[in-house]
Structure 1
Amino acid sequence: MTTLAPPLSPAPAGHALRRAAPALLVYAGVRALGLAVLAVWGAAAGKSPHTLLAARWDSLWYTRVAEHGYGWQVRLPDGSVHSNLAFFPLLPWLERLVSAVSPLSYADAGLVVSWLASLFAAAGIFAVADHLYGRRAGVCAVALWAVLPVGIVQSMAYSESLFTAVAAWSLYAVLRERWVLAGVLASCAGLTRPVGAAVVAAVWVAAAVQVYREGRVHREGRADRRMLLGVALAPLGAAGYVLWVGHRTGGGLFGYLDVQAGWGNGFDFGYAFARFIGEKFTSVPGALAGIGLVVGVALVVRLYVVGVRQGQPLPLLVYTGIVVALALCAAGYFGSKPRLLMPAFPLLLPLAVALARLRTSRSALVLGGVAVVGAVYGAFWLHGSGPP
């Protein structure tokens, strides 16, 4: 299995930007295609693309947190309570900041944050893939992340792009042994989504393995302190918010779990999801959807196994494993599972390596075709009745 690479001297910012430029241009082009198809579809359907991207479903909850703070909730007819305490604060904090320094509304500020974050996420994915497998694989990894069928979420005022950005750069910092930066970014990930625990775990495991394999006694004491500081910083974001929610709700350490339970969310080791898939096979049309879900889950598991055999560094495997486990083994709204898997970008690295071995024209043809299909599917998805 690949171990952590030795720390390298930081490359000049200009050189790093030039190296990543092709990946960022590809990413921007794919996302522009997705937005163009959404605009055309919206014009035909009489729906506003702006509303679909900035003012529906979870984006409304983030906007309300940015505008009014926490404490707002909805009680449903069945007695369950949907509280905005379920939404972590980094995205609404940034929405509030952007709105305060610009004429933008909170909703439009959310779009700006998401679009900028998606570029930083693409750059982080490129940095990780380039560091491990080379520049061509880095470009292909970014392209694959962009053309995901649910890639339109990257352009919504949701937290997936922001989370992927801080997670990817934290993992890259771990691979470069920049422990303090890795810890700070892991803490930011913990302030963005509950799955920020995956980034924290990656930092902790990487540090533990490094100590075990190499022995930090042979390094300067200053290096030891940097590692310990990064390890200590990593969980502060998630722990701070969860403890605050527990104090505010009176639920103590389990207060945030109670909030999530009000939304019907909880970790049940995949029982509810398996039952949901099983129920699809009670009818012929449903059986086709059920087969598609089984194939999708099998593909995710297969890509993870290939990543293990490929020798991906342990921090990436730990991060990806936790993201996948939380996405597939939690109860809740099952239509959201594809976007919950979106931050698990290391799953795409085996495909990126394979594409990088093809001639540029052939890989471009493959990615271009998938990009068109993904753009159409994304427009169809957002024009549905349920949230993504």
Structure 2
Amino acid sequence: MRLSAGTSARTTWWLVPLAIFALTRIVDVFVIAHAAHAQVPMDGSFGIHVEELKPAHPGYWAALSNWDGQWYETIARHGYPHVLPASGPVPQTAWAFYPLYPLIVRMVMLVTPLGFGPAASVVSMAFAAAGLALIYRVVLDRADRFAAAITVLGLCVFPSAPILQAAYTEGLALFGIALLIWCLTRRRYGEVFAVLLLLALTRPIVVVAAPVIVVHGWRHRHDSSPRQRWTLAGLTVASGALVLLWPAVTGLVTGRWDAYFATQRAWSNQLSLRSSYLGWFFGGADHETAVRAVLVLLVLLLTLVVPAARAWPLELRVWAMAYGLYLALTLRPTSSIERYMLLAAVPWLPLPALAPAGTQRWIRVVTMGVVAAVGIRMQVGWVDHFMIPTAGSLLPP
């Protein structure tokens, strides 16, 4: 039986996002490997947690497990500590890091001969690739292939996107976010709870799903059954409740109810709205910094409300807006902000507007080339300054 061209295209849609992801990961291999030549020895002398001592110029694979990757390696190899001080401050411990990612890496290490660095990279890239394929699919449901492809490209060349092949949770989290959007747009509510559980055990972001589910439910209030409406209400409540899942597990295992929050305070003594980006903005930012902050927020808002953004599903746009607000409310000023911004799951610019429907093919090809070139150039700077610890920069990604 022959397949028509249209049928073939529908069954092989995933080739485009996976090809974009693969090509950009190959480029980032060279970006990271080149930057690693400047890496200083990681021997604990800088007050940074080290599970495995690293010499200077450690090479590509070792560079993938820098910074938080060392904590995930500790968890993958040794698990979590069972004892914490019964009261008062606690030192930095593995309990600050969520369990699903290192557990999956541990399983890969058990069934393959891979060490931690390669195993972590395989896990990160596999989930990131799946997540980007889902984002491509949900955009393709609303727009043409160019809009879907340039959305994926924009994420793949985002300044902090090299983290998608490192020992960090961004790849797994991006997959969870994309799967949430995919399930909602297809109204597969039965699977959403499992996705929320995945997010709750990956990063402390599951609560961001609540406004997405609420807006989705409101949009479909006239064409959904009472059972579906009650299901969405339950999922909204679950989104809020599951944010306490990992802190509860931490408390039960260690016997200290505030173990997770006490561990977080080991990185910062100020965990409050006052210490967040929003509190910092209103409480002490100078005029120039305030203007920059307002401009960043306006760019995000405009990106999501301009007509070109309609290529992205409403649920994806609501996630991006809610996630940006979540960062403003909960995150203290940090060098990790660009890494966190990656999980907005949109490129932060309405890239489909650069070559709208009707634009000649060659213009679209050139547009994608320019976006890729600009993005990769920014990635080089991000990797040099944050991902690789050097004598001139010890700021974590």
The TM-score with structure 2 as length reference comes to: 0.77
CA distance in 1, matches of 2:7, 2:83: 44
- Aligned residue type for 1:22: V
The 5 A counterparts of 1:44-59 are 47-50=57-60, 53-59=63-69
Aligned to 1:26: 20
Q: Is the 8 A contact 1:144 1:367 kept in 2?
A: yes
AA partner of residue 141 (structure 1): T
Deviates more, 1:162-171 or 1:52-61: 52-61
Summarize the alignment of residues 113-152 of structure 1 with structure 2, pairs less than 5 Å apart: 113-152=123-162
* Corresponding letter in the other structure for 1:98: V
Cα 1:267–1:131 change in 2 (3 A) is: farther
Gaps in structure 2 of 5+ consecutive residues: 1-5, 40-55
Alignment partners' CA distance in 1, 2:70 and 2:167: 9
1:372 aligns with 2:376: yes
Query: Among residues 214, 217, 224, which one is paired with 2:223 in the alignment?
Result: 214
Structure 1 residues 313 and 148, CA gap change in structure 2 (3 angstroms): closer
Q: Deviations over 1:139-161 (max 9, x none)?
A: 01000001111111112110011
Does the 8 Å CA contact 1:54/1:60 hold for their aligned counterparts?
Answer: no
How much is the aligned-residue C-alpha RMSD, in angstroms? 3.7
Kept after mapping to 2: 8 A contact 1:194/1:238: yes
Which residue, out of 246, 255, 260, partners 1:256?
260
Please state if 1:154 is matched with 2:158: no
**Cα distance in 2 between the residues matched to 1:309 and 1:26:** 21
Q: Supply the AA of the counterpart residue of 2:20.
A: V
The CA deviation at 1:93 is 1.1
Residues 69-218 of structure 1: matches in 2 within 5 Å?
69-71=79-81, 81-203=91-213, 205-207=215-217, 209-210=219-220, 212-217=221-226
Q: Distance in 1 between matches of 2:231 and 2:297?
A: 39
**What's the offset of the Cα at 1:234?**
5.8
Change (3 A) 1:195 1:372: same
**What does 1:307-386 correspond to in 2, within 5 Å?**
310=310, 313-332=313-332, 334-346=334-346, 348=348, 350-357=350-357, 358=359, 359-381=363-385, 382-383=387-388, 384-386=393-395
- Tell me, in whole angstroms, the C-alpha distance in 2 between the residues paired with 1:52 and 1:386: 18
Tell me by how many angstroms 1:17 deviates. 5.7
Indicate the residue corresponding to 2:31 in structure 1: 37
Q: In structure 2, what is the Cα distance between the partners aligned to 1:136 and 1:361?
A: 9
2: CA distance, partners of 1:157 / 1:149: 17
Change (3 A) 1:43 1:57: closer
**1:241 maps to which residue?**
246
Offset of 1:374 from its aligned partner? 2.7
- Contact 2:324-2:344 at 8 Å conserved across structures: yes
Alpha-carbon separation, structure 2, partners of 1:132 and 1:277: 43
Return the offset for 1:298: 4.0
What stretches of structure 1 of length at least 5 have no aligned partner? 1-11, 282-286
Shift of 1:353: 4.3
Name the SS of the counterpart of 2:92 in structure 1. strand
Query: 1:246-299 deviations in whole A, cap 9, x for unaligned?
Result: 3335554x55334323322635153454279836x7xxxxx7x88766644443
Q: How many residues align?
A: 362
Say if 2:196 and 2:239, in contact at 8 Å, map to a contact too.
Answer: yes
Is residue 17–residue 136 contact of structure 2 (8 Å, CA) maintained in 1?
A: yes
How far apart, in 2, do the equivalents of 1:329 and 1:231 lie? 20
Give 3-state SS (helix, strand or coil) of 1:329's partner. Answer: helix
Seen in structure 2, the aligned counterparts of structure 1 residues 250 and 310 have a Cα distance that, compared at 3 Å, is same
Distance between the aligned counterparts of 2:364 and 2:312, measured in 1? 24
CA distance in 1, matches of 2:284, 2:353: 32
Cα separation, partners in 2 of 1:329 and 1:232, compared to 1, 3 Å? closer
Aligned to 1:88, what secondary structure does the other structure show?
coil
Q: What is the CA deviation profile of residues 209-254 of structure 1, one whole-angstrom value per residue up to 9, with x for unaligned ones?
A: 53x333515xxx6x679768866876786443232123335554x5
Alignment partner of 2:285 out of 275, 278, 291: 278
Does the 8 Å CA contact 1:310/1:350 hold for their aligned counterparts? no
Instruction: Write the deviation string for residues 113-146 of structure 1: whole angstroms up to 9, x where unpaired.
Output: 0111121121122122112223211101000001
Amino acid at match of 2:144: G
CA distance in 1, matches of 2:12, 2:284: 46
- Counterparts of 1:371 and 1:37, CA distance in 2: 12
Secondary structure of 1:71's counterpart equals coil
Which residue does 1:5 correspond to in 2? none
Distance in structure 1 (CA, Å) of the matches to 2:283 and 2:355: 34
Q: Which amino acid aligns with 2:32?
A: L
Inter-partner Cα distance in structure 1 for 2:97 and 2:21: 28
* Native 8 Å contact 1:336 1:387 kept in 2: yes
| Cα separation, 2, equivalents of 1:295 and 1:326 | 18
Aligned 8 A contact 1:277 1:290 in 2: no
> How far apart are residue 327 of structure 1 and its match?
2.0
Partners of 1:153 and 1:263 in 2: how far apart?
Answer: 21
